């Protein structure tokens, strides 16, 4: 046993000083449980020992960051939402704004979400009218996103026609065609502290809120509202909910699709 053993709070503080990532802003019980599970699996005797191990071992630190930022995603996740975007919301934005549409997929994981948006704009023959940026805190996920090569398990919800039209099979994997791959820019961005991408016509931040405490969700919503143009849209995950959208100048338009209104 470590003498004066660190508790989770001490681990979080040391981790923040080392990496700049505030574990404190994620839901505590869930995060602590996941970290304890990993420590047990790796036979780590306590938080201080585990911290020292991570601090001295960059690959282990990278693995740990990857482990705590849950990357679950897939193409056309929540088909009803994407159908609504394609049939109503994207055409409306294309009609209402003359300039290129700026679309930000915040917490994009390995890219399935921004690539789905890109495919939809292409089917609307409007790929040249959008600029799509995918951001995430997880470097490894972003590297995979840039590669654009996907295991079929991430493609179960895409129609056979779109699969055929937008992907090339390479062995067991599917590579997104260059036109789609090149239409999305990926960069690292920490939602907790980096400046938002301003002037967006749409922000998709889906299945990210659920990992954070209510006050952090509020902080994200304030920032997203500031980053959206009036008339622009915020799209959240199907298991997520905004209780007072008017506090952020948002109005619910469809299930998880909110529009920024003024006045
Ligand atoms: C479950 S995935 C969601 C992927 C995609 N948006 C979707 O719905 O399919 C959550 C993503 O949030 C990212 N994330 C967690 N904390 C973050 C932070 N502080 N800043 C930016 N991204 C973060 C994770 O790395 C992960 O890729």
Using CA positions, which residue lies closest to atom 14 of ligand 1?
107
Looking at residue 26, its pLDDT comes to 92
Element (DSSP H or E) covering residue 73: none
Looking at residue 70, its pLDDT comes to 84
**Domain range annotation of the chain:** 8-68, 79-260
Q: Among 64-73, 108-117, 192-201, whose mean pLDDT is lowest?
A: 64-73
Distance CA 130, CA 127 (A): 6
Q: How far is the CA of 191 from the centre of ligand 1 (A)?
A: 9
Residue reference for tokens 């398990």: 153
Q: How far is the CA of 98 from the centre of ligand 1 (A)?
A: 31
Q: What is the mean pLDDT of residues 47-58?
A: 95
Q: Is the pLDDT of residue 263 over 80?
A: no
Q: How far is the CA of 145 from the centre of ligand 1 (A)?
A: 13
Q: How far is the CA of 206 from the centre of ligand 1 (A)?
A: 8
Indicate if ligand 1 lies below 6 Å from the C-beta of 70: yes
Q: Is residue 208 within 8 Å of 178, Cβ to Cβ?
A: no
Q: Among 63-72, 191-200, 216-225, whose mean pLDDT is lowest?
A: 63-72
Looking at residue 239, its pLDDT comes to 87
Record the pTM: 0.91
Q: What is the mean pLDDT of residues 82-100?
A: 97
Indicate if ligand 1 lies below 6 Å from the C-beta of 191: yes
Using CA positions, which residue lies closest to atom 17 of ligand 1?
137
pLDDT tens for residues 165-186? Answer: 999 999 999 999 999 999 999 9
Q: How far is the CA of 205 from the centre of ligand 1 (A)?
A: 8
Q: Which of 22, 24, 34, 107 to mutate to test the pocket of ligand 1 (most atoms within 8 A of CB)?
A: 107
**CATH classification number, 79-260, choose in 3.40.50.1000, 3.40.50.720, 3.30.43.10, 3.40.50.150:** 3.40.50.150
Q: Is the pLDDT of residue 220 over 60?
A: yes
The Cα diameter of the chain in Å comes to 66
Residue reference for tokens 């294309």: 94
pLDDT tens for residues 5-40? Answer: 899 999 999 999 998 888 999 999 999 999 999 999
Indicate if ligand 1 lies below 6 Å from the C-beta of 78: no
Q: What is the mean pLDDT of residues 59-83?
A: 90
Could you give the percent of the chain with pLDDT greater than 90? 87
Distance CA 65, CA 60 (A): 9
Distance CA 121, CA 77 (A): 16
Looking at residue 210, its pLDDT comes to 87
The encoded tokens of residue 152 equal 């079929």
Residue 141 CA: which ligand 1 atom is closest? 27
Q: Which of 65, 78, 132, 137 to mutate to test the pocket of ligand 1 (most atoms within 8 A of CB)?
A: 137
């Amino acid at each position: 046993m470590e003498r004066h053993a660190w508790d989770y709070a001490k681990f979080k503080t040391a981790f923040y000083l080392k990496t700049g990532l505030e574990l404190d802003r994620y839901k505590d019980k869930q995060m602590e449980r996941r970290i304890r599970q990993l420590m047990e699996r790796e036979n780590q005797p306590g938080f201080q020992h585990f911290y020292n191990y991570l601090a001295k071992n960059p690959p282990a630190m990278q693995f740990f960051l990857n482990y705590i930022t849950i990357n679950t995603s897939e193409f056309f996740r929540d088909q009803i939402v994407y159908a609504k975007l394609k049939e109503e919301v994207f055409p409306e934005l294309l009609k209402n704004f003359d300039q290129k549409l700026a679309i930000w997929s915040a917490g994009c994981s390995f890219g399935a979400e921004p690539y789905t948006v890109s495919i939809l704009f292409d089917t609307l023959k409007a790929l040249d009218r959008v600029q799509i940026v995918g951001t995430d805190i997880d470097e490894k996920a972003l590297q995979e996103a840039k590669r654009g090569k996907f295991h079929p398990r991430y493609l179960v919800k895409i129609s056979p026609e779109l699969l055929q039209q937008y992907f090339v099979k390479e062995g067991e994997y599917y590579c997104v065609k260059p036109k789609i791959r090149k239409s999305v820019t990926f960069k690292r961005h920490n939602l907790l502290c980096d400046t938002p991408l301003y002037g967006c016509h749409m922000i998709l931040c889906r299945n990210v809120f659920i990992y954070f405490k209510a006050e952090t969700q509020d902080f994200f919503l304030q920032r997203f509202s500031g980053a959206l143009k009036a008339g622009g849209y915020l799209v959240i995950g199907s298991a997520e909910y905004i209780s007072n959208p008017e506090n952020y100048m948002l109005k619910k338009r469809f299930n998880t699709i909110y529009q920024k209104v003024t006045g």
